[in-house]
Structure 1
Amino acid sequence: MKNQSFRRLLGGLLALALAIPAPQLLAAAPKPAWVDAQRLQQADQEPGNWMSHGRSYGEQRYSPLARINAGNVAKLGVAWTRKLDWDFGVEATPIVVDGVMYTTGPYSIVYAFDAATGKPLWRHDPGVPRDKGGEGCCSVVNRGVAVWEGKVYVGAFDGRLIALDARNGKRLWSVDTRLDPDKSYTITGAPRIVKGKVLIGNGGAEFGVRGYVTAYDARSGKQAWRFFTVPGDPAQPAENEAMRMALKTWHGNGWVKWGGGGTVWDSMAYDPELDLLYIGVGNGSPFNYQFRSDGKGDNLFLSSIVALRPETGEYVWHYQTTPGEMWDYTATQHMILADIRIDGQVRKVLMQAPKNGFFYVLDRTNGQLLSAEKFVPVNWASHIDLQTGRPVLTGAANYLDGKGMKLVMPSFLGGHNWQPMSYHPGTGLVYLPAQETAAGLEPQKEPLFMPIRNVVNIGLDVPSLPEDPQVVKQIAQSWKGALLAWDPVKQQAAWRVDYPTAWNGGTLATAGNLVFQGTADGRAVAYAADSGKELWSSPVNSGAMAGPVTYSVKGEQYVTFMVGWGGSFPNITGPLSLGARVKPEARVVTFKLGGQATLPPARQAVVALPPLEAVKADAGQLQIGRSLFNGLCANCHGLNAISGGVVPDLRYLSPDKHKLFPGIVYGGRANRGMPSFAGGIGQEDVERIRQYILLRAHALKAEQEAPLSSR
């Protein structure tokens, strides 16, 4: 009797199963990260997911979700938060598929969380050597993963592209993307996946490498094609017609030794209808145009947007934002694809606000320039000629004219950097994390190519920053940040929110008439998309630089901020980033309406100096020590030995650490991310650096002991 009942029950379940259409079965029990071309192309039909870096192939970073809206956003509270392993810069855009979040932290560590609760599901550490940070310009950051057919893909900082099983984080395959393992190639950008191919570029232009983007088969990891962005050795045959065209725009052969640059380290977008892949290309190597190309030629494809066929890597068209680039004006910044009405006609456009300070609107079918206007103060060019598409140079920023240091606006940090912008099709506005910056640049008299890999080789003398705290304060106050609601048709700001410092976070636009952004001073903020009115703000403990995302699980909408202060601005320009006044703390912070979770207290800065020994070096030795520090150490520890707080402030070194200083410099501290400088500098120079650090510590002590009225 029991067997007959069991058979009837089993038969009934089988009949029920057969009656359910296959898609419903898949929806009821989806495979983790099972994303394919159809799902990505129809991303708007799944607004609860965030399946690719910009949510859709067009990279608009706009969500149709509206359960959280301008009317109720003030009720947002913390839903959950999770601490990450390393308190360095956090720049990742999380991917959320079917209730699971996949994201990254420093050293390319991948995390999978339950997107509703924050419960850790798995963690994968790719084992990037902890002292590799010295081989990248801007810390061991990572901007996130891609997912495809049950796999999670991450570009490791040391140059590997890795495929993981989305179920458990176990490695399935790994390939070395580096053209030359002896050069400082890195990966900080998020992969993109188009037509079953994983696309990834590299960083390293500041260290003398040749740029390219590579496509790998998503299932096997086999290389499908590689497109170089600068020509190789002219004594060797060019790889293709695009490289033969580019070679005509380079002169001499300096770029052969220096690599040429042009790394594709961040932005990409894809138009399925046109079947065009768009890549953003970086700066020259070295910055100094005279060393790189005898000061002549456009140097294609530096600082360019290039359209390729994703199946083959075939060149289709390009637009160069900064011909003859010599200011670190990369065009790797976020690109957005949209269809907008211009002069009564709907145009398929590509929009970008690169470092050089101009907002560009291109026809993405052919690369034609439609418009370009300044969005921050600019002095290197007066305007962009719409007939030729070329900038009209002013000469004011030409540091190669033999007339000394030139003030350049924007600085090498740009009017807009990697922090992604977003586009709202309802308002027609682009929400742009802009910044006003300036720097003094002066060329080296002779090219200095040091034989150790963790030294930046840009062909310029390191910009000098005064040591007087009052002067530094004035300069810091001139480096401003802003959220611009930019009208790409009128080419002007519809509204603007000012911030006290640069390096604020990427943006997210939603159908709830909202724009979300993290700030350098440690807040998550929501504004009305149409007016810019601030509607909500919450502390997140540290600077939030990454682009936030929104998604839904079982009808509940969430907004996630990846938090963690770091990157080039806080590291290098420590004296100018103090307005942020936050300590690095890496964590995921997720909000929902009525959330009741709490954040732990924010970390506090060290304020007490240890006992200081007397400075023994004379003025000449200290000046050498200053130059060496700013040339070798400031990339992490800050110009003039003033840290932005991400890595230790060396002015606070204890007496014991001062005794160990030579061993630390030569041996490095791999467990803390510091490389070895053995073979690069002599013992006398190490002591000069140490003496300069002591000098700066005494200056800080005097500043702390001064009356408040004189500070």
Structure 2
Amino acid sequence: MRNLLSGWGALGLAAMALAAGSLAAAPLQQGAGAQWVSPGGDAGKTHHSLLTGIDAANVGQLGFAWGMDLGTTRGQEATPVMVDGVLYTSGTAGRAYAFDAVTGAELWRFEPDVDMQVNRTVCCDMVNRGVAVARGKVFVATLDGWLYALDAKTGAVVWKGDFIEDRKRGDNSTGAPEVAGDVVVIGMSGAEYDVRGYVTALDLETGTLRWRWHVVPSDPRLGPQESPELEAALKTWDVNSRWDIGGGGSPWDAINYDPETGYVLVGTGNGGPYATSKRSPAGGDNLYLASIVALDPKTGRMKWHYQETPGDNWDFTATQPMILTRMMVDGEDRPVVLHAPKNGYLYVLDRRDGKLLRANPIVRTNWAKGIDANGGPILDPQAADYTTGPKIVFPATTGARNWHPASYDPATGLYIGAVLDMGNLIFMTDGAKPHKARGLNNDAALIFTPDVKEALATFPPAFGDAVRKTPAYAEALKNPASAQVRAIDPLTGRTVWAADTAGWQDRGGVLTTASGLTIYGGVTGKLFVRETKTGKLLKEIDTGTAIMAAPMTYAIKGVQYIAVMAGWGGGGYPFVPRYSAAYMRGNMSRLLVFKIGGGAVPMPDLLPPLEVAPEAPVQAGGVTAQTIARGQGLFFGNCAICHANQPRSITPDLRRMQPATHDAFRQIVREGLLVPNGMPRWDDILSVEDADAIHAYLIDLQGKTRTDELAKVNAGKPLDGPSLTILSNY
């Protein structure tokens, strides 16, 4: 056998310690061995493997070993975990699975009963980013905010814990839990809605609440803050802030337990509403938005913090995955955290005290001119303050980096991950906005730079002229977007090599190995293997299913396997790009496993050709142009974030409703007829008249779509060519 288990001795102890729930006694390793004990592989979540059984010499023989259809068409973002020969993973809305890691035999499946009303507050699909395994239990969080401890052998529920503070607000959950000693820590989502962000620690054995740490202060008129650090944070907020909306800050990902310091590191979310001037009119840094905070897992008290985007104005979350490792910095071997959040910078911080060691831009960043001597950004209001008028801001709210995990290869010192260099036009929407319970409260509109030029033709001339005068307009036209997998020197920000992806929506997680391989998927359905040092393409496998999640690898009895979750989804999930495998073959979400000597991947069937939209029904009596315009506004305010109304969308194309759907429209929207399918009811927000106005708009849109598509057929043009455009905020 070749050097398959290189470095496994010490790492095996760390893996067994994690499985036993006693990781604090183990040293931090730089890579996973035969087992892959957390979604990030090792305690530092480096997404790096010490295995060398698959290398440049034999990767040409990599093929399909086994797979599993997950029975859903929603997005898959989890990285599986392998402990003691069992492959554990999570899926849509918090489902969990256990498979024999060699044969693929299903050992158990957990399908929780999820309150689908939570879908009203989920911006970015019913995804889940993984499980934690410790003390014979598998921990998984559901979309509606329940944490389950499952028996690792049987999948039976050991306990169920509620970690949502206020179920009348927009709180939900898409992240992976993190075991930290005798607690399991979980974040929550929903900053665009009406939440006050927090992380919660539950007892590992019982599921009872141990502590909760809030990101944002509470309304000071309601009494003292929950902790001294929140009292300090209050000084960075206007006393007249929009406390009714909650402030945002939800830590929906990026929770790492550091066994060397004993701290839990948490990346926090964006502010709500987006604009600082609306959220905290007098300004301020608005601690602890868009920050990394270090917490004591025993008490929940804060040890240190570093705010990456003070007074966040642009949805620049700090929730992107962190990597804990060691590096030589300025001649000293330091314990560091590597972090590339949405805001376009790659940060290197000391894990002991949060001291900033390096911060380098990796994309265009016109919101800031650089980082000052105190470690804070040098803001550029002229370029990026959209509260005084529309601005094109780089990077976009999609982020230079997002949830897609990067990898750190200690042998080369390279940080390798998906990077998006794109901006967006951002502008305020008119009028004062009252608190919208469990509804979007972001109060800003966004158009990504690839769409800006076309979109301006639909706006009043004065608005278009204002946009064209913005400092970044010429740059937006010159280079609207660039999406790549990049290998970056984290100390300098220099890109060592870059590989283009199929488009700006094509981003995926990364795995590296000690044999010098970089492995990642694409939404085209391809799995790519490159040489880590140079980026040279060594192998690609067409799977027929879009891949966004990070691959992982493990070894059993001398055989190394690579596994990856496949399925299109996440932010903007209804808008399926044409280059995606989901556009051509549908979105049959799957778990795919590969090994040397494997065969061809079973391919999903191609979708049938598109058909012309059905004839629209006659409008009800009394429908006017004003009714349709009102319905359009209600649609974009409540429905468009999920319904793209485009061919091949993951959600129903409402321009193609059949007569039975039209007949049941009120029952679907207001009475929950399709709640089992994930469509929530809206009778607490939308009146009968509101639902009818939305329906009138969709009938009008369906009629226009049919006319447009019939004209294309007569002209011999494809139905999915450029047509009626629907713009939605992100």
> TM > 0.5 between the two?
yes
RMSD: 3.0
Q: Which residue number in structure 1 is paired with residue 543 of structure 2?
A: 540
Q: CA deviation at 1:584?
A: 1.7
Q: Which residue number in structure 1 is paired with residue 469 of structure 2?
A: none
Residues 120-159 of structure 1: pairs in structure 2 closer than 5 A: 120-159=106-145
Rounded to whole Å, the distance in 1 between the matches of 2:582 and 2:282 is 38
Q: Which residue number in structure 2 is paired with residue 589 of structure 1?
A: 592
Q: Which residue number in structure 1 is paired with residue 529 of structure 2?
A: 526
Report the TM-score, using the length of structure 1 for normalisation: 0.89
Distance 1:259 1:234, change over 3 A: same
Distance 1:705 1:266, change over 3 A: farther
Cα distance per residue 1:570-612 (max 9 Å; x no partner): 32x5579879735322110000001136414245265112432
Q: Which residue number in structure 2 is paired with residue 570 of structure 1?
A: 573
Rounded to whole Å, the distance in 2 between the matches of 1:264 and 1:37 is 23
Match of 2:641 among 635, 643, 646: 635
Match of 1:160 among 146, 151, 162: 146
| Partner-residue secondary structure (3-state), 1:256 | coil
Q: CA deviation at 1:344?
A: 3.1
Q: Which residue number in structure 2 is paired with residue 494 of structure 1?
A: 496
Q: CA deviation at 1:343?
A: 3.4
Q: Which residue number in structure 1 is paired with residue 651 of structure 2?
A: 647
| Partner-residue secondary structure (3-state), 1:258 | coil
In 2, are the aligned partners of 1:542 and 1:602 still within 8 Å (CA)? no
Cα distance per residue 1:253-307 (max 9 Å; x no partner): 3332001111111002232222222110001121132221115011000000111
| Partner-residue secondary structure (3-state), 2:160 | strand
Match of 2:611 among 608, 611, 629: 608
Rounded to whole Å, the distance in 2 between the matches of 1:446 and 1:469 is 22
Q: CA deviation at 1:376?
A: 1.8
Aligned amino acid, residue 636 of structure 2: N
Q: Which residue number in structure 2 is paired with residue 255 of structure 1?
A: 242
Shifted more, 560-569 versus 694-703: the winner is: 694-703
Q: CA deviation at 1:196?
A: 1.7
Rounded to whole Å, the distance in 2 between the matches of 1:60 and 1:692 is 51
In 2, are the aligned partners of 1:43 and 1:51 still within 8 Å (CA)? no
Shifted more, 425-434 versus 618-627: the winner is: 618-627
In 2, are the aligned partners of 1:357 and 1:416 still within 8 Å (CA)? yes
Rounded to whole Å, the distance in 1 between the matches of 2:59 and 2:79 is 21
Distance 1:247 1:41, change over 3 A: same
Rounded to whole Å, the distance in 1 between the matches of 2:714 and 2:412 is 52
How many percent of aligned residue pairs carry the same amino acid?
A: 37
Q: Which residue number in structure 2 is paired with residue 15 of structure 1?
A: none
| Partner-residue secondary structure (3-state), 1:207 | coil
Gap runs ≥5 in structure 2:
1-8, 459-475, 723-730
Aligned amino acid, residue 507 of structure 1: V
Q: Which residue number in structure 2 is paired with residue 456 of structure 1?
A: 440
Match of 2:355 among 354, 368, 388: 368
For the pair 1:408 / 2:413, whether they are aligned, the reply is no
Shifted more, 643-652 versus 138-147: the winner is: 643-652
Rounded to whole Å, the distance in 1 between the matches of 2:643 and 2:44 is 38
Report the TM-score, using the length of structure 2 for normalisation: 0.87
| Partner-residue secondary structure (3-state), 2:385 | coil
Q: CA deviation at 1:531?
A: 0.5
Q: CA deviation at 1:478?
A: 3.6
| Partner-residue secondary structure (3-state), 1:637 | coil
Rounded to whole Å, the distance in 1 between the matches of 2:698 and 2:43 is 50
Q: Which residue number in structure 1 is paired with residue 467 of structure 2?
A: none
Match of 1:680 among 669, 678, 685: 685
In 1, are the aligned partners of 2:193 and 2:440 still within 8 Å (CA)? yes
Residues 161-180 of structure 1: pairs in structure 2 closer than 5 A: 161-180=147-166
| Partner-residue secondary structure (3-state), 2:244 | helix
Distance 1:288 1:569, change over 3 A: same
Distance 1:400 1:329, change over 3 A: same
Match of 1:182 among 168, 172, 181: 168
| Partner-residue secondary structure (3-state), 1:348 | strand
Match of 2:305 among 291, 301, 318: 318
Cα distance per residue 1:89-116 (max 9 Å; x no partner): 1111111001101101102110000011
In 2, are the aligned partners of 1:40 and 1:52 still within 8 Å (CA)? no
| Partner-residue secondary structure (3-state), 1:671 | helix
How many residue pairs get matched? 678
Q: Which residue number in structure 2 is paired with residue 57 of structure 1?
A: 43
Q: CA deviation at 1:131?
A: 4.4
Q: CA deviation at 1:75?
A: 0.8
For the pair 1:550 / 2:558, whether they are aligned, the reply is no
In 2, are the aligned partners of 1:322 and 1:391 still within 8 Å (CA)? no
In 1, are the aligned partners of 2:613 and 2:706 still within 8 Å (CA)? no
Rounded to whole Å, the distance in 2 between the matches of 1:41 and 1:342 is 20
| Partner-residue secondary structure (3-state), 1:360 | strand
Distance 1:112 1:210, change over 3 A: same
| Partner-residue secondary structure (3-state), 1:376 | coil
Q: CA deviation at 1:476?
A: 14
Q: Which residue number in structure 2 is paired with residue 280 of structure 1?
A: 267
Aligned amino acid, residue 436 of structure 1: D
Distance 1:596 1:299, change over 3 A: same
Distance 1:266 1:40, change over 3 A: farther
Residues 294-309 of structure 1: pairs in structure 2 closer than 5 A: 294-309=281-296
Q: CA deviation at 1:470?
A: 13
Gap runs ≥5 in structure 1:
1-22
Q: Which residue number in structure 2 is paired with residue 95 of structure 1?
A: 81
Q: CA deviation at 1:154?
A: 0.6
Rounded to whole Å, the distance in 1 between the matches of 2:235 and 2:18 is 49
In 2, are the aligned partners of 1:661 and 1:690 still within 8 Å (CA)? no
Q: CA deviation at 1:489?
A: 1.9
Aligned amino acid, residue 303 of structure 2: V
For the pair 1:343 / 2:361, whether they are aligned, the reply is no
Distance 1:610 1:68, change over 3 A: same
Distance 1:108 1:542, change over 3 A: same
Q: Which residue number in structure 2 is paired with residue 66 of structure 1?
A: 52
Distance 1:661 1:575, change over 3 A: farther
Distance 1:291 1:335, change over 3 A: same
Q: Which residue number in structure 2 is paired with residue 215 of structure 1?
A: 201
Rounded to whole Å, the distance in 1 between the matches of 2:648 and 2:452 is 16
Rounded to whole Å, the distance in 2 between the matches of 1:449 and 1:575 is 35
Cα distance per residue 1:7-66 (max 9 Å; x no partner): xxxxxxxxxxxxxxxx9xx99xx9996554279657679711011121122111110001
Q: Which residue number in structure 2 is paired with residue 79 of structure 1?
A: 65
Distance 1:343 1:451, change over 3 A: closer
Distance 1:45 1:137, change over 3 A: closer
Q: Which residue number in structure 2 is paired with residue 9 of structure 1?
A: none
Aligned amino acid, residue 37 of structure 2: M
For the pair 1:264 / 2:272, whether they are aligned, the reply is no
Distance 1:38 1:287, change over 3 A: closer
Rounded to whole Å, the distance in 2 between the matches of 1:376 and 1:604 is 37
In 2, are the aligned partners of 1:662 and 1:686 still within 8 Å (CA)? no
Aligned amino acid, residue 274 of structure 1: T
Cα distance per residue 1:429-475 (max 9 Å; x no partner): 0011111332222223334346553x322122465968969999x99
Rounded to whole Å, the distance in 2 between the matches of 1:347 and 1:398 is 37
